[in-house]
Structure 1
Amino acid sequence: MARRNATRDAQSVAVIGLGRFGRALAIELVDSGAEVLGIDTDEDIVQSLNGVLTHVVRADSTREAALEQLGIDSFDRVVIAIGSDIQASILTASLLKRRGTVEIWAKAISEQHGLILEQIGISHVVYPEADMGRRVAHLVRGSMLDYVRLDDDLVVAVTQVPGEATGGAIGELQLHEKHGVGVIRVKRDGRWMPVAPDTALVSGETIVVIGPEKQTERFCSLSPAV
């Protein structure tokens, strides 16, 4: 398989570690059309994913010879999804960096773990448990139907139309000037539609809002339109 790291969309991904996070990630990648190699040290896990992923093998990613035999360098991206074994995660990351693997993503289970991965040179470090905890916290408060963080201070939220977003065209209501957020989609007749300056929102509709975290949270907590 030829290296295609320069491509924007990864056509082939190796996922190392097939616990809950790695398994879900690998299956989603397959469903999206990517060729996926799953790697784990547990034979039962490997067998359970046989026929589900493009390829799945039992191997120890802390052994460079194993990475060589698997042709790890031919994949567009490699995800280190190893869970509780921090030593294996760090050693695997170190071996991949030494081999010159360009696109490496790695799961971190703590700030210290993530810091070490960054020091090794892993530019894409994710914290799935922490990110999910923050997301659920916002949902539990009840003002948002869904919530995704895009950057340190940029979020996208799904919420019901508040009263202040009705009574005129979006462009005339100046929501960005008043609240620091933008409404980018509205669900109408069961379909998500883009919002234009002349779009008028009505009570009961669901909208997608984007903006800084605090402003978005305040906007979504406004009283719903009646």
Structure 2
Amino acid sequence: MVIGLGRFGGAVSRTLERMGHEVLAVDTDPALVQHFAGDLTKVVEADATETPTLERLGAKDFDAAVVAIGTDIEASVLIVLALADLGLTNIWAKATNEKHARILERTGATHVVFPEQRMGERVAHLINERLLDFISFGDEFAIARLVAPEPLLGLPLVTSQCRKKYDVTVVGVKREGEDFIHAVPDTLIFPGDELVVSGRIHDLEAFSAM
């Protein structure tokens, strides 16, 4: 169940449908409901802040609920509270700031996400063009995809000693026209190889800049 069909909620709903999940999408805006009616199996115009409304929609029969409302803090909190009252134990909620997140957690949200903040951080790390992709885990640790730095070229990983010298771990290698390779000590690195590397964010940034 996804409540709120803005950019975040709409993307979550469409992705879940593509993955084969049964999705009930809910929004108070008739224009948004009409817009998504052709893409989603079940779209309903309703005010989900009321527990009886959620009961009529069968909310408690879903394994998970996503409250994708960020701008109307009161509405998002009331919806999370209503879902918790119905007994849902897997409630994902979008927050706009830390205070909003704390309120959501105290009213029953089991997972709180900051999609705009995460995307902003990701873009900031990608904008220097050395990192091809970047996923932060929120604790100074991340996984990145990058073009193999010059000091590694022509060497097996055991010789380049990435973990010892640069405090990063090469997880895998993607070579053009070939399948993804899980990195092992004798994996040779060639020009143009893309590496999947894990480590602390500042170490990854320094590694990519070599």
Matches within 5 A, 1:3-152: 14-152=1-139
Provide the aligned length of Structure 1 versus Structure 2: 209
**Which amino acid counterpart does residue 55 of structure 2 have in structure 1?**
E
How far did 1:86 drift?
A: 0.7
Contiguous gaps of at least 5 residues in structure 2: none
Amino acid paired to 2:208: C
Deviations 1:149-202 (A, max 9, x none): 134122111111002222321123211111111111212133322222211011
Q: Helix, strand or coil for the counterpart of 1:147? A: strand
- What is the CA–CA distance in structure 2 between the aligned matches of 1:77 and 1:139, rounded to whole Å? 32
Rounded Cα–Cα distance in structure 1 between residues aligned with 2:167 and 2:73: 41
Once residues 162 and 132 of structure 1 are traced to their aligned partners in structure 2, the CA distance between those partners, rounded to angstroms, is 25
User: What corresponds to 1:202 in structure 2?
Assistant: 190
Matched with 1:172 is: 159
Comparing 58-67 with 182-191, which one deviates more in the overlay?
A: 182-191
Maintained 8 Å contact 2:89/2:110: no
1:212-223 matches, within 5 Å, as: 212-222=200-210
1:35 counterpart SS class = coil
Paired residue type of 1:68: E
> What RMSD, in angstroms, separates the aligned Cα atoms of the two structures?
1.3
Shift of 1:47: 1.2
> Is contact 1:36–1:54 with CA below 8 Å preserved after alignment?
yes
Q: Distance in 2 between the 1:120 and 1:164 partners?
A: 52
CA distance in 2, matches of 1:58, 1:203: 54
Q: What is the CA-CA distance between 1:126 and the residue it aligns to?
A: 0.3
Q: What is the TM-score when the length of structure 1 is the normalising length?
A: 0.88
SS of 2:131's partner is: coil
Q: Which amino acid aligns with 1:142?
A: E
After TM superposition, the runs of 4+ consecutive aligned structure 1 residues lying more than 3 A away are none
* Counterparts of 2:167 and 2:84, CA distance in 1: 41
Q: Which runs of 5+ in 1 are unaligned?
A: 1-13
Which shifted more, 128-137 or 111-120? 111-120
* TM-fit CA distance, 1:128: 0.5
